[in-house]
Amino acid sequence: MHKFSIRVFGCQMNSYDGDRLRTAMMHQKWQEVPDGEADVVILVTCSIREKAEQKVASEIGRYDAVYKKKKSPAVVLVGCMAQRIGREMAKKFSCVRLVSGPRHLGLVPQAVTEISAETPPRFFMDDDPRALLDLDVVPTARTNPFKAYVTITYGCDRFCSYCIVPYVRGRLQSRAAADILKETRTLIDGGVKEITLLGQNVDAYGKDLNNGYGFASLLRDVANQPGLTRLRFATSHPKDFDEDILAVMRERADICRAINLPVQAGSDRILREMNRGYTSGQYLALVDRIREALPDVSLTTDLIVGFPGETEEDFRASYELLQEVKFDIVHTAAYSPREGTRAAMMEGQIDNRVKAARLNEINALQAQVARSANEGYVGAEFEILADGPAPRGEGKIQGRTMTDKVVIIPGSEEDFGRLIPVRIVRASHWSLEGERI
Ligand code: SAH
Ligand code: SF4
Ligand code: F3S
């Protein structure tokens, strides 16, 4: 039994965990294969919305049908959904042989080698939200050789009323700066050009350590490591994003001019019910300060429609906020009740049809905003970091600008990992096409 497959769902933190698990499995001489040939399928899962969990549950059902006949593949369930409903899944599906919460990944690689159809399934749950037995592995076996993620904080302490993350990822815990810097050094030495520092709220980095070393300090220290071309980070929280971070970004041209600053809603009443800790006025003032300090910055956001009690007027406030700020990208979602969160018990849950209509309206607005912004780039010149084949089209590759815009240009594999100067020749809603200068 030496063949595994790994499938990653959910956010970038899961991609990082998936890359580290893959690396750890390879260190113990297991071979990665397509899931149809695997003895063990590792699923790195997400619980953010009901749909995310349903998708994985139906995949497990599919593996289970095969497992019942062949006693293979065994399913290893890790990540947020494993923490939330892993026990249930193991009861329902006999293929689930190992379940681990996000804070016990360090135990997984060894336990995978001990999986057997004869012994009961094993569980490493994060029952204590502060416990941490992490994998001590640098993700060298990545899906992308030039780009790497590095998680800098575990968990989240903000408890937004709709969000499951604090329940499944536990309390905020910052990684020691020395460990992070050692990892980024190894990655850069291994050929990585672009690093993205990850956390549910990167701006909270260090707040639990109380040693005066916060996110701005970490950002400066990583940027100062020789050999790194670009440094990104996600996600920022409007309440914690501060002047020190802006100052470091201004100092260092290699820190990307792209900030994901989730607003979630435009109505102050809804923001209060969400427990976000800011008003729309404070959010807009922050946007002004950021744009003043970094005029070429790209701003993206996340927005939820159909939060409990959201009236037509509340929804209009979100709509108008998007019209006013004109974000580069808006990740929109219809509110999905998550069991155990405060919002799931609130009165005034919104009908699914209303949510869908509001989602459509917001997406149509953003398509317009994105299109006219992109059209404004035609003729402009950028340097892109080429990082892979374009999703469609022979002989085309894609790369990203410093502001995280995707640009498609003619090219080949040899270009991957290189900085290429381009001129934009065409624009659509979601991407830009360029030519080499
Ligand atoms: N830490 C980040 C985002 C984490 S989750 C922040 O504070 O913004 C990613 C996104 O999923 C959120 O920004 C939110 O827009 C969405 N999301 C979270 N819980 C949700 C829920 N219950 N229903 C719908 N969308 C949700
Ligand atoms: Fe969830 Fe809020 Fe934490 Fe983001 S800040 S992960 S939305 S609780
Ligand atoms: Fe999903 Fe967990 Fe990330 S719920 S969005 S995988 S932190």
How crowded is residue 166: how many other Cβ atoms within 10 Å of its Cβ?
Answer: 18
Do 104 and 167 share a domain, yes or no? no
Joined together, the tokens standing for residue 339 give 């069991």
Mutate to test the pocket of ligand 2, among 157, 158, 172 (most ligand atoms within 8 A of CB): 158
Predicted local distance difference test score (pLDDT) of residue 428: 81
Tell the residue nearest (CA) to atom 1 of ligand 3. Answer: 46
Domain total of the chain: 4
Nearest to 17 by CA among 52, 42, 50: 42
- What is the number of other CB atoms lying within 10 angstroms of the CB of residue 68? 11
Beta-strand pair 258-260/381-389: unpaired
At residue 1, the pLDDT reads: 59
Within this chain, do residues 245 and 279 fall inside the same structural domain, yes or no? no
CA distance 314 to 58: 35
Question: What tokens appear for 10 in the block?
Answer: 């959910």
The interaxial angle of helices 312-325 and 352-375, nearest 10 deg, is 10
Q: Token pair for residue 49?
A: 């919305």
Are 31 and 116 found together in one domain? yes
Q: Is residue 314 part of a domain?
A: yes
Beta strands 194-198 and 298-305 are: unpaired
Q: Look at residue 135 and tell me if it is in a domain.
A: no
Q: Which of 375, 397, 425 is the last residue of a domain?
A: 375
Atom of ligand 3 at shortest distance to CA of 80? 2
Using the atom order of ligand 3, give the atom closest to the CA of residue 48. Answer: 4
Domain boundary among 89, 124, 159: 124
Chain-centre distance for alpha carbon 132: 20
DSSP per residue, 370-405? HHHHHHTTTT-EEEEEEEEE-SSSTTEEEEE-TT--
In the reported structure, the alpha carbon of residue 361 is separated from the centroid of ligand 1 by a whole-number distance in angstroms of 19
Cβ atoms within 10 Å, residue 424: 22
Q: Does 59 share its domain with 101?
A: yes
* Ligand 1 nearest-atom number relative to CA 162: 22
- Ordered DSSP codes for 360-371: HHHHHHHHHHHH
- Domain assignment of residue 152, yes or no: yes
Distance of CA 14 to the CA centre of its chain: 7
Q: Does residue 173 fall inside a structural domain?
A: yes
- Which DSSP string do the residues of 41-64 spell out, in sequence order? EEEEE--SSHHHHHHHHHHHHHHH
CB atoms within 10 A of CB 56: 24
Domain boundary (323, 350, 375) is at 375
What is the pLDDT at residue 143? 84
Q: The domain containing residue 197 runs over which residues?
A: 144-256
150, two tokens: 């590095």
Domain of 214, CATH number, reads: 3.30.750.210
Contact 407/432 with Cβ under 8 angstroms? yes
Ligand number nearest CA of 168 is 3
> What is the rounded CA–CA span in Å between residue 139 and residue 123?
24
- Two tokens, residue 162: 């709709």
Q: For residues 119 and 108, give the distance between their C-alpha atoms in angstroms, rounded to a whole number.
A: 16
Write out the two tokens for 255.
């820190």
Burial class (CB in 10 A: 0-12, 13-18, 19+), 327: buried
Rounded distance, CA 258 to CA 385, Å? 14
Which residues have C-beta atoms less than 6 Å from ligand 2? 156, 158-160, 163, 165-166, 200-201, 237
91-113 burial string, b = 16+ CB within 10 Å, else e?
eebebbbbbbbbbbbbebbeebe
The enclosing domain of 46 has a CATH number of: 3.40.50.12160
Is residue 134 a part of any domain in this protein? no
pLDDT tens, per residue, the chain with 437 residues: 599 999 999 999 999 999 999 999 999 999 999 999 999 999 999 999 999 999 999 999 999 999 999 999 999 999 999 999 999 999 999 999 999 999 999 999 999 999 999 999 999 999 999 999 999 999 999 988 999 999 999 999 999 999 999 999 999 999 999 999 999 999 999 999 999 999 999 999 999 999 999 999 999 999 999 999 999 999 999 999 999 999 999 999 999 999 999 999 999 999 999 999 999 999 999 999 999 999 999 999 999 999 999 999 999 999 999 999 999 999 999 999 999 999 999 999 999 999 999 999 999 999 999 999 999 999 999 999 998 999 887 899 999 999 999 999 999 999 999 999 999 999 987 789 999 99
Same domain, 175 and 241: yes
Pair 105, 180 in one domain: no
Q: How far apart are CA 362 and CA 239, in angstroms?
A: 24
What is the 320 CA–ligand 3 centroid distance (Å)? 28
Please indicate, yes or no, whether residues 156 and 231 belong to a single structural domain of this protein.
Answer: yes
Would residue 133 count as lying in a domain? Answer: no
- What CATH number is attached to the domain comprising 408? 2.40.50.140
Ligand 1 binding pocket, CB closer than 6 Å: 48-49, 162-163, 165, 200-201, 235, 237, 262, 264, 302, 304, 333, 335-336, 338
Q: Which of 18, 8, 302 is nearest to 148 (CA)?
A: 18
Please report which residue ranges of 121-170 form alpha helices under DSSP H: 165-169
On whether both 403 and 356 belong to a single domain, the answer is no
Distance CA 327, CA 300 (A): 5
250 in the same domain as 275: no
Asked if 431 and 406 count as a contact pair (C-beta separation under 8 A), the reply is yes
Q: Which ligand has the minimum distance to the alpha carbon of residue 11?
A: 3
CATH number at residue 267: 3.30.750.200
Q: Which atom of ligand 3 is nearest to the CA of 9?
A: 6
Question: 97 Cβ partners below 8 Å, 6+ apart?
Answer: 74, 75, 76, 90, 115, 116, 117, 121, 122
In a domain, 225, yes or no: yes
User: What does the pLDDT read at residue 393?
Assistant: 75
* Same domain membership, residue 109 and residue 23: yes
pTM over 0.95: yes
Strands 381-389 and 329-334: unpaired
Q: Is 428 helix (H, G, I), strand (E, B) or coil?
A: coil
Number of residues assigned to the chain = 437
Q: What is the pLDDT of residue 399?
A: 96
273 plus 334 within the same structural domain: yes
Q: Give the CA count within 13 Å in the CB-facing half-sphere of 248.
A: 21
pLDDT score for 392: 82
Could you tell me if residue 210 is inside a domain? yes
98 and 24, same structural domain?
Answer: yes
